[in-house]
Amino acid sequence: MTSVNRAAGDTAREPEIFVNPAQGFGKDPVKVRRTDHYEQEYVEGFVDKWDELIDWDRRAETEGRFFIDVLKQRGAKRVLDVAAGTGFHSVRLMEEGFDVVSADGSPEMLAKAFENGRRRGHILRTVQADWRWLNRDVHGRFDAVICLGNSFTHLFNDHDRRKSLAEFYAALRHDGVLVLDHRNYDALLDGRTKAGRRYYYCGEDVAAEPEYIDEGLARFRYSFPDKSVFHLNMFPLRKDYTRSIMQQVGFQEIETFGDFHETHREQEPDFFIHVAEKAYHSPENDPSKEKTEA
């Protein structure tokens, strides 16, 4: 089933779809459902605008110390930011004393991240790496892998998702932790998102709206004050599916937060954040687990 602009709560008016030719969506953008396409989507013009889209101060304020506390509580020191983007989390974590390696599949994004780091007095250690082959390009083991800013939803098939999670798992020390977030696509798909909702990390003058949604595609439109428009095609990850594939690749305990809070039952959160622990505790040493298996 397909629906256009359902999430904006206005099913009668079908928006005119403007396609920026530089992003390579072609004549029928909703047919573009490929993992590799992210490389074309983050074109130079869009990357330059990304920091306009993401107001760093506002984002820092909204997130507060959530990620820092999650990492510090688990004793993490070495962190691999696998979706560095323009460097927001890498810089923030460096400023908190973490030892960070910043990876991303997009060289444009990494160049921007490096530049942003320099401007704030940091030299980012950047590595260009696609998640599906992460350990080919990134060496060493980390206490934490972070994949934030709705990045994991760029993967369009189950196989790529499992392979990427397996690569994240392998990059972690035996007791490491993966922190991965994504939009609340369940709410979008099930029509529970309120019209005109603003997304937490957007700058004041930038509109980011879901333009099209079905079970295989969430297409977002980003409009800037200079009238330029860019799009991202993403896969609408459901929360329970994401948790289940994390478990299946070997993560032992997964805690899911809604919008940086521990409970998310009363309100519909904008984002889900999964904190997945690798540490294995044998059921022989954990009587509660033995009981459920018996």
Ligand X SMILES: C[S@@+](CC[C@H](N)C(=O)[O-])C[C@H]1O[C@@H](n2cnc3c(N)ncnc32)[C@H](O)[C@@H]1O
- Residues lying near ligand X in the complex (CB under 6 A): 35, 38, 42, 54, 83, 85-86, 88, 104-106, 109, 130-131, 148-151, 154
Q: How far is the CB of 35 from ligand X (least distance, A)?
A: 6
Q: How far is the CB of 221 from ligand X (least distance, A)?
A: 14
Nearer CB in complex with ligand X: 4/180: 180
Q: How far is the CB of 121 from ligand X (least distance, A)?
A: 20
Q: How far is the CB of 21 from ligand X (least distance, A)?
A: 20
Residue nearest to ligand X (CB): 149
Q: How far is the CB of 25 from ligand X (least distance, A)?
A: 16
Closest CA to 251 of 275, 231, 276, 286: 276
Nearer CB in complex with ligand X: 137/255: 137
Token pair in block for residue 111: 């160049």
Nearer CB in complex with ligand X: 207/279: 207
Nearer CB in complex with ligand X: 51/253: 51
Nearer CB in complex with ligand X: 85/210: 85
